């Protein structure tokens, strides 16, 4: 019954590897987001898709590539992982059309790069 | 550019004491302001938004456009209020949510 789900919950990998994180929402929302939470708990938007179209693309290294196969899914692929990529990555969704709409967050994926 | 400032990284109060978590914002237009909360080992969730003008779990927040502030207040803190609180601003056509750096509230017994 989970609204926004992410897999995996934990990801430990070596520097230089390529990895993906998956996100799915069953709320019928048309907008999905990826956020990065660093070790100091600072949350920053990375990407946003509305109806499978990229609408926010912050200054993120192009090693990060989001992919939205449909409105309910937004995956994050990371190439050539670096130590600084270690963080918690949160997926979120909302119903677009209004800036005051609530965003619903997933449980997060804790990525550790060794 | 939009910016949200939460000046206190940590805030510690005793149970039953009033609590105020500060939030100031910077945006040239009319923003939408929110407070999100993250309890230990739980996902981030909406606490309240200024447009609703409601009180959730005893918390209120008033948007002060003159002071560009949206402070979160509760008259009597409870231990279960201990959590990380984020002030956030949404503006522009892409509904981008900009978060402050968060305030970790600890309510001591």
pLDDT (mean) for A78-83: 96
Other beta carbons less than 10 A from residue A13's beta carbon = 16
* Cα dihedral B44/B27/B96/A44 (nearest 10): -50
- Percentage of residues in chain B with pLDDT exceeding 70? 96
Q: Considering only CB atoms, which chain B residues are within 8 Å of A94?
A: 95
- Name which of A56, A90, A100 is nearest B32 (Cβ-Cβ): A100
pLDDT in tens, A15-66: 999 999 999 999 999 999 999 999 888 999 998 888 888 888 787 888 999 9
Tell me which residue of A86, A78, A13 sits closest to A47, measured CA to CA.
A78
d(CA B95, CA A103): 10
Q: Is the bond leading into B37 cis (omega within 30 degrees of zero)?
A: no
CA gap B3, A113 in Å, rounded: 30
Residues A71, A52 contacting (CB under 8 angstroms)? yes
pLDDT of residue A54: 85
Highest mean pLDDT among B11-25, B52-66, B88-102: B11-25
**Nearest CB to A102 within list B46, B102, B104:** B46
Q: Which of B71, B75, B46 is nearest to B61 (CA)?
A: B71
pLDDT band at B90 (very low <50, low <70, confident <90, very high): confident
Please tell me if residue B102 touches chain A, with a CB cutoff of 8 Å.
yes
pLDDT number for residue A1? 66
Report residue A95 CA to chain centroid gap: 17
């Amino acid at each position: 019954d989970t609204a926004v789900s992410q897999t995996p919950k934990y990801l430990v990998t070596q520097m230089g590897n390529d990895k993906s994180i998956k996100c799915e929402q069953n709320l019928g929302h048309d907008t999905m987001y990826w956020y990065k939470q660093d070790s100091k708990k600072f949350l920053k938007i990375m990407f946003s898709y509305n109806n499978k179209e990229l609408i926010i693309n912050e200054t993120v290294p192009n090693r990060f590539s989001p992919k939205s196969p449909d409105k309910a899914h937004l995956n994050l692929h990371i190439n050539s992982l670096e130590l600084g990529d270690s963080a918690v990555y949160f997926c979120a969704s909302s119903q677009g059309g209004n800036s005051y709409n609530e965003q619903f967050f997933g449980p997060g994926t804790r990525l550790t790069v060794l | 550019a939009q910016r949200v400032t939460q000046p206190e990284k940590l805030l510690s109060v005793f149970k039953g004491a009033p609590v105020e978590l500060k939030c100031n914002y910077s945006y040239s237009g009319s923003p939408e302001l929110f407070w999100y909360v993250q309890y230990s080992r739980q996902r981030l969730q909406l606490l309240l938004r200024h447009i609703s003008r409601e009180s959730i779990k005893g918390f209120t927040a008033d948007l002060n456009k003159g002071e560009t502030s949206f402070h979160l207040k509760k008259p009597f803190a409870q231990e279960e209020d201990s959590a990380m609180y984020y002030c956030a601003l949404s503006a522009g056509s892409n509904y981008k949510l900009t978060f402050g750096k968060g305030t970790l509230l600890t309510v001591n017994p």
